[in-house]
Amino acid sequence: MKFVQNIFDQTRPLVEKDGKRNIFYPLHNAIETMAFVPNHTAKSGAHVRDAIDLKRTMVTVIFAMVPALLFGMWNIGRLHYGAFNMESTLIENFLFGAMKMLPLITVTYAAGLGVEIFFAWKRNHAVNEGFLVSGLLIPMIMPVDIPLWMVAVSTVFAVLIGKEVFGGTGMNLLNPALTARAFAFFAYPTWMSGDQVWINTKGEEGAQLVDGYSGATAMGDLATTVGQGLDNPATNAVMAEFGSEGTYSLLNAFLGLIPGSIGETSALLILLGGLFLIFKGVGSWRIMLSFFVGGLVMAGIFNAFAVNEFMALNPIHQLMLGGFMFGMVFMATDPVSAAQTETGKYIYGFLAGFFGIMIRVFNPAYPEGIMLAILFMNVMAPLIDHYVVEANIKRRAKRLANA
């Protein structure tokens, strides 16, 4: 690999401090450190170091997301061909999805990394790896038909306002990927909700949509039952879809054979990614576990005091739908925007899951309660940490008083 190293060595003078192309230094450095782990040695303190670095941590998260991502691509194609009642093979489904997904991913990375590199140059530091994960999370939580420019604008907003204004990676208050989604949700509501955007129904010349086609998500359908009371004949058709034979059956929801944001549908593969993260020690099991319990408790309470079909839904089924699983495994666990103390993580996770289900059911205008709940808990996390830290301080003060 000497020749690759030579290329970096030869171009480095151009981008260094006094070089003509200094603006490219962060990019040069980012690519070089990606290709070669640098030859830096320990200068102070411990003389040996763990092989782990932020790149490894981030790439581990990406590996965990791959199954859900591949499934999402396949599901795009499956739903598309299904809407026209066309036969399609696994490969065709997957290729169709890939054609939709790859531009989304490319645009997100280009927009986000552009902003990151600019700030790295301005602030004179290396490009941080945080966006490697954010850049893949953002397309996975978008509807398939969202225009690319909206994704780009949302990404730029998220990186700029969600992250860089606070000082960059490690300093941000909000999860950047969810900030992007929240921005898109409020700025372009017609592209982010309803029954038109979750399944691609364009591009097939002359094809007819199947009879009774609905592009709604489970969340959208459930929201229509609010205010109708229990056992209302008007909602029976909707609720039949949640029965064992329906589109949104527990099994379908668990496997992910339902419409939704691209990467969020398959609870099974997301859980697989979550187990991988926990096993690798990269994702916090404290947050995931307490998030799940929080959601289950809220859904259980609703179930016990149900006044409409949405509330009456089986709690486990409730958790398999929408962004709950994805939020639990990939969003709430972002170490920077979550609570940072180990005790705080239990409280943070529990409340995020709890509020997520609460918002989703109480305010059907926001079927994506999970997103809002996690962002809300991001803001509350420093407060939780504050009380955990205060408890530690009080313990110490008490010891001093007793001494």
Partner 1 sequence: MSQSFKIRKGHNIKLVGEAPNKDLGNITTTTYAVSPLDFPGITPKLAVKAGEKVQAGDVLFFDKDRPEVKICSPVSGEVAEVKRGAKRKILQVVVLADSTITYADHVPFDLKSGDRAAAADHFANTGVGALITSRPYGVVAAMSEEPRDIFVNGIQSGPLAGDLAYQLEGKEVEIAAAIEALALMTTGKVYVSQDAELPAIAALKHAKATAISFSGKHPKGLVGTQIAQVAPMSKGEIVWTVNAIDLPVIGRAFLKGEYAPEYKVVVAGSRIINAGYATMLQGVSLTNFLGAHANADNARFIAGDVLTGTQIDATGFLSFGKSQITAIPEGNQTEFFGWVLPGFGKFSTNRAFWAWLFPNRKYDLDTNLHGEERAFVVTGEYDKFIPMDILPQQLLRSILIGDIEKMEQLGIYEVVPEDFALAEVACTSKLPLQEIVRNGLNDLRKEMI
Scanning 57-65, 72-80, 139-147, 294-302 for contacts with partner 1 by CB under 8 A, the matching segment is 57-65
Question: What sections of 84-129 are H helices per DSSP?
Answer: 90-123
CA distance 232 to 17: 71
> Which residue in the set 11, 22, 60, 228 belongs to the binding site for partner 1 (CB under 8 A)?
60
Residues 6+ apart with CB under 8 A from 221: 214, 238, 241, 248
CA distance 234 to 231: 8
Q: Indicate left, alpha or beta for 168 from its phi (over 0: left) and psi (-120 to 50: alpha).
A: left
Tokens 């999805």 found at: 97
> Which residue in the set 6, 13, 31, 36 belongs to the binding site for partner 1 (CB under 8 A)?
36
Total site size for partner 1, rule CB under 8 A:
61
Q: Looking at beta carbons only, is 12 or 280 nearer to partner 1? A: 280
Q: Indicate left, alpha or beta for 193 from its phi (over 0: left) and psi (-120 to 50: alpha).
A: beta
In whole angstroms, the minimum distance from the beta carbon of 340 to partner 1 comes to 4
Helix (H) or strand (E) holding 343: helix 342-362
Check binding of 7 to partner 1 (CB under 8 A): no
> Which residue in the set 1, 87, 186, 190 belongs to the binding site for partner 1 (CB under 8 A)?
1
> Which residue in the set 56, 161, 228, 301 belongs to the binding site for partner 1 (CB under 8 A)?
56
Check binding of 11 to partner 1 (CB under 8 A): no
Calculate the CA 13 to chain-centre distance: 39
DSSP code, position 217 = -
Tell me which residue of 183, 180, 169, 107 sits closest to 138, measured CA to CA.
180
Check binding of 124 to partner 1 (CB under 8 A): no
Q: Looking at beta carbons only, is 54 or 210 nearer to partner 1? A: 54
Check binding of 80 to partner 1 (CB under 8 A): no
Write phi, then psi, for 228 (nearest 5 degrees): -95, -5
> Which residue in the set 341, 354, 357, 358 belongs to the binding site for partner 1 (CB under 8 A)?
341
CA distance 390 to 401: 16
Q: Looking at beta carbons only, is 215 or 344 nearer to partner 1? A: 344
CA distance 109 to 86: 33
Q: Looking at beta carbons only, is 1 or 365 nearer to partner 1? A: 1
Q: Which of residues 366-395 bind partner 1 (CB under 8 A)?
A: 385, 388-389, 392-393, 395
Residues at the site binding partner 1, with contacts judged by CB under 8 A: 1, 4-5, 33-57, 59-60, 126, 128-130, 168-171, 279-282, 284, 335-336, 338, 340-342, 345, 385, 388-389, 392-393, 395-397, 399-400, 403
